[in-house]
Structure 1
């Protein structure tokens, strides 16, 4: 029974996070990128505040903690959410999901720069190079049909932003005594405020109400951003980061399939091959002894570094994505 419940949680998370790019694409049929992201963040923040209320979790009071949350809110929520939305105005939702899966590669690059990883091992370097090769295969700049565009680069930049955010959060937030629900709610509230400031940049365009896109944004904010957090937290608490990281391998598959089946996006064999290569590179970065990881990082960071390909932190802080 316990194993069945775990599998159901993994499947639900993969569907919620993998479908987020699908909902973004639908939502853009009604909202501008800024409007969509603001709605998503407000809905996600509201859901997380409800969870805080149910868990009787109080928001942090330390000013320094709020400063760290502001940095995390920008790089983990406001910036990447907006970049993905902008990217999806020209890029297929399935491709966006595949590019999102490169996040652990950016974590691997950011960690040594921030002093949270002692060295780049040969296996990690090999995984990084393989993953970058997969990105190159996806973009295929040598072909006229390649995907190298400003929209695709925006999506890749969003994944890089996640990578930096995860390392930053692992260094400055993971040791906090505050509830993960409270940290995530505070982070999402701050990100919502940042998007309010961005409203002059495309946030006041006329909105023509349509049922489909409106429902898509509701699902994106409440389900893929709010409820998914609770499921991820439960999975981490009961099964650990290894089980949660399985979701990362399923996410791009879900996004590609949803885009192909419901949006008519083309299943490009080169892109699929690139996705396999990227995920293979991510897997290579994890082929190391647990003792070595524990020796290199504090426990909370050792459990999280490179353990997630979803664009969501493997620890229970504010989810992404996308």
Structure 2
């Protein structure tokens, strides 16, 4: 299978996994606080990755560790906590929609700070996808006027962190395999996450069935939605472009909406139309970068 076909398979696989992550966060928040959800997510992913990828840490040079540490903060740590906090006030489907700002932020930061150049169709694809996201957001906001939309600022900050992350990987870690990057990320974060978790009341909660139920869903989120998904994502960044890789965030809301239907959330015609516009944006943003 050639690279062109493989990158689309990776994109669709990631959209299914990450599109399901928001409902898993929602389930985690039933019996845990947002800080506990974020910490457990990192811890479970770290333990899984150290089991399957410990030997890959040897491939990370001393000079590369600083960039691995930076990507762990921007690509994992901040978003893991911010998304969980945002979902305490905003529906998971709305959070998934706002996550689609990532490609736009990746494009802007890539041009300003990383010297990336893009074709006009690629830029057009980003903005078409953004229009689709706005349609979804406006429709969702009108349907849920009582939600605290100040919390969406945390999601926007998280998308900026993702944008920094993918540009750092493309610029400084392209020669390092995805397993090494992912395992290195979570090795750096394991101890901080354990310390943060220990400052909460988790020792009192673990005996309750509700908390155990939530921990189970966060374990799935950590292993599949964070550990395995990040390996695939970093591989996708290396084999394509930062904008194409982050265009997975255009497909995530569609998957999240179907989970929302199963969780008694209804879709409007505007939301369906927005999802269609998003797909057009993904296709346009898949255009290859110009050689610099």
Could you say whether these structures have the same fold, taking a TM-score greater than 0.5 normalized by the shorter chain as the test? yes
d(CA) in 2 for partners of 1:68, 1:235: 18
1:164-206 C-alpha deviation (Å, 9 max, x unpaired): 2101111111134xx4322211111223344456558x83465
Partner of 2:124: 126
Deviation at 1:279, TM superposition (A): 4.1
Aligned ranges 1:126-165 → 2 under 5 Å: 126-140=124-138, 145=144, 149-165=149-165
Deviating more after overlay: 247-256 vs 97-106: 247-256
Unaligned regions of 5+ residues in structure 2, if any?
none
User: By how many angstroms is 1:219 displaced?
Assistant: 0.8
Distance 2:278 2:10 in 1: 25
The structure richer in helix per residue is 2
| Structure 2 Cα separation of the partners of residues 192 and 268 of structure 1 | 41
> Structure 1 residue 295 and structure 2 residue 267: aligned?
no
The alpha carbon displacement at 1:276 in A equals 3.4
Residue equivalent to 1:17 = 18
Q: Matched residue pairs, number?
A: 281
Q: Cα deviations across residues 122-150 of structure 1 (Å, max 9, x unaligned)?
A: 33443343334334333339958567812
Counterpart for residue 180 of structure 2? 182
CA positional deviation for 1:61: 5.6
CA-CA distance at 1:44 after TM superposition: 0.7
Q: Distance in 1 between matches of 2:105 and 2:234?
A: 23
Matches of 2:9 and 2:111 in 1, distance apart?
Answer: 35
The correspondence of residues 1-322 of structure 1 with structure 2, limited to 5 A, is 13-53=14-54, 56-59=55-58, 62-118=61-117, 121-140=119-138, 145=144, 149-176=149-176, 179-196=177-194, 198-199=196-197, 203-204=200-201, 207=205, 208-210=208-210, 211-229=212-230, 241=240, 250-261=251-262, 263-286=263-286, 288=287, 290=288, 293-296=289-292
- TM-fit CA distance, 1:93: 1.9
Q: Tell me by how many angstroms 1:234 deviates.
A: 8.4
Contact 1:41 1:221 (C-alpha < 8 Å) held by counterparts: yes
CA distance in structure 1 between the partners assigned to 2:233 and 2:275 by the alignment: 24
The residue number in structure 2 matching 1:305 is none
Q: Kindly state the Cα deviation for residue 257 of structure 1 after the two structures are TM-superposed.
A: 0.5
Note the C-alpha offset of 1:250: 4.4
Q: Per-residue deviation at 1:151?
A: 2.6
Closer, same or farther: CA 232–103 of 1 in aligned 2, 3 Å: closer
CA contact (8 A) 2:39 2:196 kept: no
Give the whole-Å Cα distance in 2 for the aligned partners of 1:145 and 1:282: 27
Q: In structure 2, what is the equivalent of residue 318 of structure 1?
A: none
| Aligned mates of 1:277, 1:175 — CA distance in 2 | 35
Which string of whole-angstrom CA distances, capped at 9 and with x for unpartnered residues, describes residues 87-108 of structure 1? 1112222222222233222111
- Alpha carbons of 1:113 and 1:23: their partners in 2 closer, same or farther (altered >3 Å)? same
SS of aligned partner of 2:291: helix
TM-score (norm 1): 0.72
